Structure formats: C-alpha cells, structure tokens
Structure 1
Amino acid sequence: MEVYSNKNQISNLVNSLKLKGFTVGLVPTMGALHEGHLALVSEGLVNNDRVIVSIFVNPTQFDNKEDLKKYPRTLESDVALLQTISNDRIDVYAPTVTDIYEGDVDSEIFEFDGLEFEMEGKFRNGHFNGVGTIVKRLFEIVNPDNAYFGEKDFQQLQIVKKLVEKYQIPVMVTGCKIHREVNGLAMSSRNTRLKPEYAKAAPFIYKTLIAAKVKFGTKSANKVSEWVEKQFANHNLLKLEYFIIADIKTLKPIKRKSKKRLVRAFIAVYADDIRLIDNIALN
C-alpha cells in the first residue's frame, strides 16, 4: 500500500493501471476511518482490481469553522486499518489543501435541480457546493471507473449522482447500506467525539427511526413527524434539528403516502455540540 499526497502521482498510478486493463474504484473519505468506511472499501475490492481511498478533510464543505478545526485527523491509524483488508490492492490519496485547491480555497457553484435546498441544505450554508467541488475534483484527478458512498449521507449520495449526470462524468456511483454500531447508532467519524453520556443516549436516534417506520404503516407522514418531535422534546440530552419524510428522488417532504413513490425518513440531531444524521427507508 502506497500513500500519495500529490495529484500527479495518483493520476499517473491510475493511468498505468488502466493501460494494463485494470478497473479502479474510488472511496472518498475525510479520514478517521471506521468499519463503515471499510465496508465501502470491501465493496470496491469486490468490483474492481484496485481501490483508491482518498483521505481529505475538505474545508469548503464546513460552514462551521470550529467543526472543521475539531474534525479528527488520523492518517497513520487510517492506513493501518486499511492494511487489515488488503496491502496490495489499496492505495491512499491523502492530499494537502494546496494540492487540491492550488491556493484558491473556494467552492464552485452548482445547481443540483433543487436537491441542494432540502434538509441539510437548509441548515448548512454552502455545504453541497463544497461537496460538489471536492467530489468533482477527485473524479477529475483519480478518474475512477466506480465510486462508493454510504447511504448514511443519502442526500449527498443523490447529489453526487446528479453531479455525474449533469456533468456527464464517466463514473458509476454506488450507494452502500448504512453500517451501524451494535446498538444501532449509524457509524460516523464524529461518534468518537461524543462524551460518554451522549454516546449512551445516541442510539435513541435509530430506535426512534425504527418506531417511526412502524407508525408510518398506519399513520400519515404529518402524524409520524409530530410523534418524533414529541419524543425528542421529552429527551433531556438529544436535541432534534429536523425530522423529514421525503421522496427519495426529489428529497422534498411528502404530503401524502403513495405506493408508487419510495420515501425515507431523514433526521438530524445534536448530541451536545456533535451533529448526528441518519435515515431509514419507509417503504
């Protein structure tokens, strides 16, 4: 396993692999890797000859500079964790901000057919311009055949698919199921920053999603949302930012149920100053 910090080096590697007829997968991450990331890499190894794991804490997708500052950076342990899966079919691209942005640390402005204005877009100013900028840049540098993203960030997954469609980028984007702790909490690099009492309380999020799915079988979307809001209003540690039942294609909140439309429940919760998101398919 090699660790590259220069875009020309990683581009040259991929070009040489493709000249040999090898397929290349990309797993974009911000590091602080966990079992959820390893599941994405494992999926990439099943379907590609080689997998590139990018590790880059992207400044343009943080609207909260303090969150950017506190985000864990654990490159050495990340590489060691990847080596437990494969040492000869995985390479790491861990660029500097300068290597990616060449001195101009600004987002491109994107139009994702309105997907960017729903849910996270209402609470994180400029976030999806930052996501679009870094993903498009990584696709240009690495030029992978396939790319893998987790469904925990389902809105991001849909936006990346829209990016590929609108810019006609020759990459197959695959979404992989949410990887969870034994207690149900969706795995996230932010989980390591949870104080003990909040870590103990956080599984309540998934427990509530499971209950909401059951209620959705007999209740309206509005009734389910009201019920979820009450559950968190009565919780002394977790603060609900939003709970939305939305169409998976448009990400717009639904007004009424339909058997012809697939919907998911999306949630964002603050555990002290740590923001946690999750979602679940309802039909």
Structure 2
Amino acid sequence: MKVDVVSRREGHAEEWRQRLVIPAPDGEVISSFRLHADGSYFSLRSGDHTIHGDAWAFASFFMDANEEIAGQEVMYVGKAYGQDGSSNVWERTRKHETLSRIYEDHLPGGWDVFVTPLEVEYATMSSSDHINDSDDGPDLFGGYYDRYVEMKTGRVLGSGVDLAEHAMIAYFVPHYNKNLLDWCAAKPTKDMQTMRSGGFRLLQVHLNGWWGLSRFYSRQVPARVRSHLISHDLPPNPSPSVTRGIGSADLDNWRAQLSLVPNGHEIFASDAERAGVALRVFGEHAPEERRPPEVILDR
C-alpha cells in the first residue's frame, strides 16, 4: 500500500510531500484503506479485522515521528479533572470557549488542530532534592499522601493535577493561556504555597510525546523533541527575577545528578530519540463520539 503525506511547516510555506510504502503484516492482507472526516481519520482492513484511528497518528507512526509531521505547537494547556476526578477530556472540551476560539483562528488557514488527552499516570517523591542544605525534607504522610496521591490506590489527586498543569503552562507559555504563565517562587500561588508547606522544593513533570508520535513545542520551547522533563523549584530564598525553571543558587552537584536537574531534559530528550514509536488504534473499543459512522466494526 502506498500513501502520500503532505504537510507545511508554516501556513504559507511550500508543501513537504513524502510517499510511504506500507508493508503488510506477515500473513495478513491489507485492503479497503479509506480516509474519513475530511482526511483526519483512517480505516483499513487487515485480514478479518478493521483497524481505524487518527490519520495523523498513522502517518507519524510510519514516518517514525519525523519532525515535519510530528511537530505539534502547544497552543493551550488545560485540565479535565472536575470534582474528585469525575470529569474527562471529552466532557471538558465539548463546550470549551478557548478551544472554539483556537478553531476559529486556525482552521480557516488550513491547519490541523489537535486535542491531545494527557494522563498523569503516576507520581513519586524523594526526600532528597537539588538544594545543598540540611532541610528535613517533605513529610511523607502529611505532605504527600492524601494531599497529592491517594495512599490506598496510588491515584494522583486534584492537587497533583493542578501542579502538573501549572508546570506545563509555565514551561511552554502557550499563546491562549492567560493564567499561570510564570512559575515565580518569590510570588507563589496557593498551590505553590501548599507544596512548600508540605516540605517540597522541587517539582518535575515528565511529558512524553503521545506514545512517541508527538513532538510538542512552543515559541518559548522551540525544540521539537519527543520527551520533555520540566523542572521548577521553590528555593528558600527565591529571586524575583526567576519566573520559571530552577531558581536556586545553592545546587548540590551530587544530588542534582540524582534528581536530573541540570541535564535531565537533555538526557530524556536524547533517550526518546532512540526509542520506538507505538500506534494506538481504537479497534473494536472505539468511543461512539470519535468514530465516523461509516466505519463499520466487526461484531
């Protein structure tokens, strides 16, 4: 099977075209390849099964997350937690005013606009951070469990999601976000104050491209890499001039290596380039809201 992929790095730039030759899985026959929903969705038959999902993910997978197709500019970061984790991305974006404005501003210019659901898969803590002093460190039970993580299940709680959201917004500084654009330890938000009161002085968020297919970037972070290690801190004597990232001047060289503060982002980004990509397709478990009606599933 042969597929042509066309993209533009900028709205009026010259087209970049790549022809893909898709090999058939061993013992299977690929047939009935179709595009749906204005080209944003694909389906095909592999043997006796229907495989279907996002056309962009299909292209990125077979191009090994090439920069020309995998780059996704981060325009807005938001959360979909709700009360006690009762909400989800689908419910959050159905009537999202900012998302509607992004569609209005960019779809007429021929851009693809993606809503990428991210999950805070797990959280962990360490009593040792990057600052060279004799501080006692965080309180495991009063500061971590039942504040950021549910002890019995390990589920990340709303306070942890709030911090992850703030960390990503302050890192990418997306164009359509209006709040939390800085991580200013000298003027901490309520969530930052809660983090500090629990004894935590370093926050790190590992943002992995969607199964290795996405390269998230922004004007603030132009490098199109597949993995971002985001670090922000709350040092004892913060400088008002530091508005994101690491502001402590008293780094412990030995412990900093363990907590991946000075070189962690580069290490994670380099490792991700050597990792494979994974194509996640809906198969028979496609949500009705996502599947074009003409895609008929095997029953």
The structure in which a higher percent of residues are helix is 1
| Fold equivalence (TM over 0.5) | no
Larger radius of gyration: 2
TM-score by length of 2: 0.25
TM-score by length of 1: 0.26
